[in-house]
Each structure stands twice: as C-alpha cells, then as structure tokens.
Amino acid sequence: LKILIMAAATFTTSLCNTVHARKAVAPRPSARSFRVVARAADAHRLNQAFSETPFDGFKFEPITEHQVSRAMTSRYFKDLDEYAETDVIIVGAGSAGLSCAYELSKYPNVKVAIIEQGVAPGGGAWLGGQLFSAMVVRKPAHTILDELEVPYEDEGDFVVIKHASLFTSTILSKVLQAPNIKLFNATAVEDLIVREDELRGKYVGGAVTNWTLVSLNHDTQMCMDPNVLESKVMVSSTGHDGPMGASGVKRLQKLGMVTGVPGMAALDMNTAEDAVVRNTREVVPGMVICGMEVAELDGCPRMGPTFGAMFMSGQKAAHCALNSLRR
C-alpha cells in the first residue's frame, strides 16, 4: 500500500510539473504575433470595406402579389380593349416591321398595333450575318440611322454599324416609347380577317391571333380558339424564314387572293435591295407587304447580310398604309 501511495504521489507531482512547465514555456504573445493578429483584423476590416456597396442595407417598399398581378393584367386587357380595332396592324417586328412602325410613330393620330410571334422582337436584325455582329447598310438607307442617331463607320457607298443590336435596340426603344404604338409580342397572327364589298372586292380587315405557343401547337390539343383585332390596313412583314416566315402571303395564296408564292430567288445584293423596295406595296386591298416577304411573293433575289432595303421597305410600307387610310 505504501509503495502505491508513493507512486501516486510521484505521478501527481510530475503531472503538475509538466503543466507548470508548459505554462512557463507557453510563450507570451510576441509583438510579431500581435502584428499578425492586427493585420488580420485590418484585412477583415478592409475586406469588409471593399465588400460594402452603395446598395447594402437596401430595403424595398412593401407590395402584395395581387398588386403585381393587377398592375400587369389591368394594363394588358386595357390595351387589348383599346386595340381591338386599330388603324394599322403590323405583323412581324423585324427590321422592316420596326422601320414601318418607326415611320408611323411620326403620325401620332394613327393607331398602330405590332403583333410579333417571338417573345423578343427584332427578327433577324440582332446580328449582321452568320454570327458576325457588325451590320452593313448601303446608302441611302443610312438616313434612318442619322434620324435614330445610331453611330456608324462611313465606308463610302455603305456604312457599318459596329453591332446590329445597336440598331435594333435603338429603333425598338423609339417605337416602344411612341404613344400611338402598342407591341403585342409572343402573339402570332395565325389567320386573316377577309371580307368582301362592291368597292374593293375581297379585302383584309384584320388579324386572327393567338398565343404563339398555341398557334404552333394546334395539332397537339383540342382547338383553342383565337382572338381577333380589326384593322383598316395591315402591313405584313413576316420575313422569309423562321417558324412562320412569309405567313401573310402564304395565307393569301391559300385564300386565292394571290396566285403564287415562288419564294425568294438566289442571292444578288445589287438586284435584291432595289427590287424589295420597289415592290413594297399594297398587295391586296387592306394589306401591304414589306421586307423579305416581298421577295417571297415576287421571287426577287435575296440580298443576304445587308439591311438597307429592310429599313427603306418598312418606311415605304408606312406610306403605303397611310395612303390606304386616306382612301
């Protein structure tokens, strides 16, 4: 027993000595370690400072979900009510359709509804050609760029906009701000209103519309009937490709109001652009065509990656529509 007590006492003593020794050896924090800690604190503060932005502590005003819903739906249904009958319907918001709308924005007494099947208006004018962003515009079509104040590089007989989207976003912005113009996007014109009278014979009196997704899926579901908008004159600028390319003239052909839609001919820039502008016209009473839809109907050549004819054809179509309204 005596030995055991002595061993326990020895063990306890050595344990205390070790702890004491450790304590004794434990270094007092040196000045260096204080500097390290201070630097870390500064870094944190600095990081804190850099991570602060003018938008920290932002607090939105309160809102309820039904307020958001009513803000959207009340305006949309008011627009549908207001544009159930309108002076001009432009079908297709590509470069030709937007140029037409821009020209009509100069006539504030003319009510215009643009119907665009895509969610994003702009058609093929977001790029200059293939995947290249610069847009080539042959003179004298650069005049619209001067009006829109779209900067370009002057190359003599033509100009180059550094990015096609600069043109499209600028003209879109001008058109959307015009009080006499309303854009209904993600909405397709899937048919035409066609009437007949002694004076004009058969004429186009408006558009038959549906949500684009419905128009593209009629054969996957029971019929979902369309909506209708009446117009005094329609401008069809539905282009030459895409899910509904040249849909206006193709519908006229099915209705027997035009004889054929041969489709655009092979590429020849110098012939194509003059022909598209020259042949922009009121193709049947109540319906003007412009842009590449003209090439589809008349079989004139395509021009490829030059856009001047789209601008001038669209602007010309606006005046064809104004002439039709004055009749």
Give least dist CB 110 to ligand 48N, A. 20
Residue 301 preceded by cis peptide, ω within 30: no
Residue 234: what residue type? M
Residue 159: what residue type? V
Stretch of residues binding ligand 48N (CB under 6 A), selected from 104-112, 234-242, 281-289, 317-325: 234-242
Three-state SS for 244? coil
Give least dist CB 226 to ligand 48N, A. 12
Q: Is 188 a binder of ligand 48N (CB under 6 A)? A: yes
With a CB cutoff of 8 Å and minimum separation 6, the contacts of 21 are: none
Give 95 or 105: the residue with its C-beta nearer to ligand 48N.
95
Using CA atoms, how far apart are residues 103 and 144, in angstroms rounded to an integer? 9
Q: Is 118 a binder of ligand 48N (CB under 6 A)? A: yes
Residue choice 100, 107, 111, 117 for contact with ligand 48N (CB under 6 A): 117
Give 181 or 292: the residue with its C-beta nearer to ligand 48N.
292
Give 203 or 307: the residue with its C-beta nearer to ligand 48N.
307
With a CB cutoff of 8 Å and minimum separation 6, the contacts of 314 are: 95, 96, 97, 98, 99, 100, 101, 102, 103, 237, 290, 291
Angle at 112 between CA 250 and CA 202, to 5 degrees: 40
Instruction: Tell how strand 153-154 and strand 287-289 pair up.
Output: unpaired
The 5-44 contact track toward ligand 48N, x by CB under 6 A, reads ----------------------------------------
**Continuous segment of H or E residues that includes residue 83:** none
- In the region spanning residues 61 to 100, those forming contacts with ligand 48N, defined by CB under 6 A, are 91-97
Give 215 or 324: the residue with its C-beta nearer to ligand 48N.
215
Q: Under the rule (CB under 6 A), what is the footprint of ligand 48N? A: 91-97, 115-118, 123-125, 188-189, 237-240, 242, 244, 247, 267, 291-292, 302-304, 307, 310
